[in-house]
Structure 1
Amino acid sequence: MIRLIFTLTLFAFILQSVVLGSNGTSTIELASSQSTQSTQPTQPTQSSNDLSSYKTVNYYARFNCGAISDDSGPLRPGKYDSDITIFNKKSYPITVIWKAIAIDQQVKNNFNILNIPSENIASINCSKILPIQDKNNTNSSSTFPKKFTEGIIKLEISVDNGLLVNNFLNNQNANIIVNESEIGNLINVDVLHTVNTLDDLNKEVVYLKADFSILSKDKNKISNFTVVFHIDPDGIVDPLSLIKNKISANNTDQKIDINGSEIIIKDTEIITNTLTDNHALTVQSVDPIIS
């Protein structure tokens, strides 16, 4: 009897274990299935913070501004000016931000906003790069800088997901979409560099022209010559001494006996002229750098 009860009890225990084991396995498999479904990645929507969708177009234009009054540097004396022209090639307005970066860092400007209407031109010259207020001018307009400065103008256009970011800086609320292929073809940037002569560089030059003859020691031979000297307009000139010094400098083969010959000055003439240096200019086209 006891063995029968033990056998029935053992059978019930084994049957319960089988049932519980089967339910436990199903639960684990369900959890595994749910976990697999929850870990599958979902396709994210493109965000404006995605770096791959944000493009910046930079233009770097050189500028030379101010006056050079001596010959101590690589550039000749003169008044230098640079004019950077930006042409909006599109049928909608474009806003460009720009900043002047001087080599000597005497000018530390923040970025400036420049709005260019459709199919129009804007310019940045030295009076905008280095604005100097004239104290004697009642209307406080900018004057040309006297100290020479050179550097780079950085122009920037930003595009985010095809939208012109800069346009919102200038209260242009229109959503203008541009294709990635035309990002570097929105504007043209050209630079005109000019140099003009300083007012005090217009100098008067004076020359002395002398016709003279050299008579040989035996008085049998005479030779006629002409010489031109650059002279100081405020100095005292001795034509005979100038002629003798010139002959001594050029008479290396001793063909002329200065001491044994007689120099006869026949005629002298003063020639004056004013040296005026004109202006020079160069034109440079600036290519965009997209990053």
Structure 2
Amino acid sequence: MIFSIIFFTISPIYLDTIFAEDKVISGADNKDITYVAKFVCGSIIDDNGPLRPGHYNTDISITNKQLSKISFLWTVSVNDGPTSHSTLMTLDHQKSTGLDCRDIKKVIGLENNTQVGGFVYVTIPQNYNPANPNTVVQYSLDDINLLDVQVFFTANALDTLPHEVVLEKISFYIISDETGKIPKQMIKTTLDVTLNSKLNVISDTERKVKEILSSTYDISENEFDKIEIRIKNVSVGVGSMIDDHAISLSIVKPQVYPQNEK
């Protein structure tokens, strides 16, 4: 018996469109090869969940290890949220592609969401070869790992990438304090504070010190005149921001699912 299936498709191609007639052909024993990759995208600003505050990104790399073309479907499922349509992709032999957070958010329609997490399903249909829709193919289950799927996670707790910063160390005395808010043992004692500095910007060093004292001892700006200080020395140095950055790589193993269980 010969079956002929003809499709007219426009990218992206959706799962329910591709297999509308194929379900009549396939039997209950046909199985699909599926790779399930977890993703986390966006920024977390509180510590209410298992992930610490930071900026998260995910990159899923897919490589065709075979000597012929392979077509597969990728689908996004958001935790406690929507599931996307399945999009068809075809990789030539020994070629690779990637899916990152921009692709994931776009296909699910959540580009403006601050943080999104869930799973990406990469499925190779077993009873249908999208690269040649006029034939029905059954791959050998002895070698189901047809693709190399790797997930690269990055997390950074800093708002900006690590970089060198200019620091100024200010040594000073507090001559008198009429507010009575500064501890007496700090009066007429050599003190110092280290602050971030900006290049080519004129600043009032004495006011900087008073602003630090203000935030530390609850002194209002109107009371600045009641504090008399003397600047002893100002030194400038260069430091590096701490790289609070983490990366991890995960290799996804394929799983086989009977179609009637999906």
The normalised TM-score by structure 2 is 0.56
Tell me the equivalent position of 1:189: 149
Tell me the equivalent position of 2:254: 288
Note the residue ranges of structure 1 that are not aligned, 5 or more in a row.
1-46, 133-141, 213-223, 246-263
Contact kept, 8 Å, 1:131 with 1:145, in 2: the verdict is no
Tell me the equivalent position of 1:179: 140
Contact kept, 8 Å, 1:127 with 1:145, in 2: the verdict is no
1:84 aligns with 2:60: yes
| Cα distance, 1:50–1:195 mapped onto 2, change above 3 Å | closer
Contact kept, 8 Å, 2:167 with 2:236, in 1: the verdict is yes
| Cα distance, 1:230–1:271 mapped onto 2, change above 3 Å | same
Contact kept, 8 Å, 1:67 with 1:145, in 2: the verdict is no
Tell me the equivalent position of 1:67: 43
Alpha-carbon distance in 2 for matches of 1:289, 1:95 = 17
Tell me the equivalent position of 2:94: 119
1:267 aligns with 2:232: yes
| Cα distance, 1:200–1:71 mapped onto 2, change above 3 Å | farther
Once the two structures are superposed, residues 58-89 of structure 1 have per-residue CA deviations (whole angstroms, 9 ceiling, x without a partner) of: 21111122234x344533333x3211111111
The normalised TM-score by structure 1 is 0.52
Note the residue ranges of structure 2 that are not aligned, 5 or more in a row.
1-24, 174-188, 198-202, 218-228, 258-262
Once the two structures are superposed, residues 175-208 of structure 1 have per-residue CA deviations (whole angstroms, 9 ceiling, x without a partner) of: 555322012x211110112345545998978654
Structure 1 residue 285: Cα displacement: 0.9
3-state SS of the aligned residue for 2:209? Answer: coil
| Cα distance, 1:269–1:144 mapped onto 2, change above 3 Å | farther
Structure 1 residue 283: Cα displacement: 1.3
Alpha-carbon distance in 2 for matches of 1:156, 1:149 = 22
3-state SS of the aligned residue for 1:128? Answer: helix
Aligned length: 196
Between Structure 1 and Structure 2, whose CA radius of gyration is higher?
A: 1
Tell me the equivalent position of 1:56: 32
Structure 1 residue 109: Cα displacement: 1.1
| Cα distance, 1:156–1:231 mapped onto 2, change above 3 Å | closer
Structure 1 residue 149: Cα displacement: 0.8
| Cα distance, 1:87–1:128 mapped onto 2, change above 3 Å | same
Q: Aligned match of 1:152 in 113, 119, 131?
A: 119
Alpha-carbon distance in 2 for matches of 1:84, 1:226 = 52
Contact kept, 8 Å, 1:191 with 1:283, in 2: the verdict is yes
| Structure ranking higher on relative contact order (CA contacts 8 Å, 6+ apart) | 2
Structure 1 residue 143: Cα displacement: 11
Contact kept, 8 Å, 1:65 with 1:145, in 2: the verdict is no
1:210 aligns with 2:171: yes
Code of the aligned partner of 1:131: K
3-state SS of the aligned residue for 2:125? Answer: strand
Contact kept, 8 Å, 1:127 with 1:143, in 2: the verdict is no
Code of the aligned partner of 2:94: E
Tell me the equivalent position of 1:100: 76
Structure 1 residue 157: Cα displacement: 2.0
| Cα distance, 1:194–1:208 mapped onto 2, change above 3 Å | same
Alpha-carbon distance in 2 for matches of 1:145, 1:83 = 19
Alpha-carbon distance in 1 for matches of 2:88, 2:75 = 9
Alpha-carbon distance in 2 for matches of 1:277, 1:99 = 37
Contact kept, 8 Å, 1:99 with 1:109, in 2: the verdict is yes
Code of the aligned partner of 2:209: V
3-state SS of the aligned residue for 1:237? Answer: helix
| Cα distance, 1:119–1:266 mapped onto 2, change above 3 Å | closer
Alpha-carbon distance in 1 for matches of 2:151, 2:110 = 20
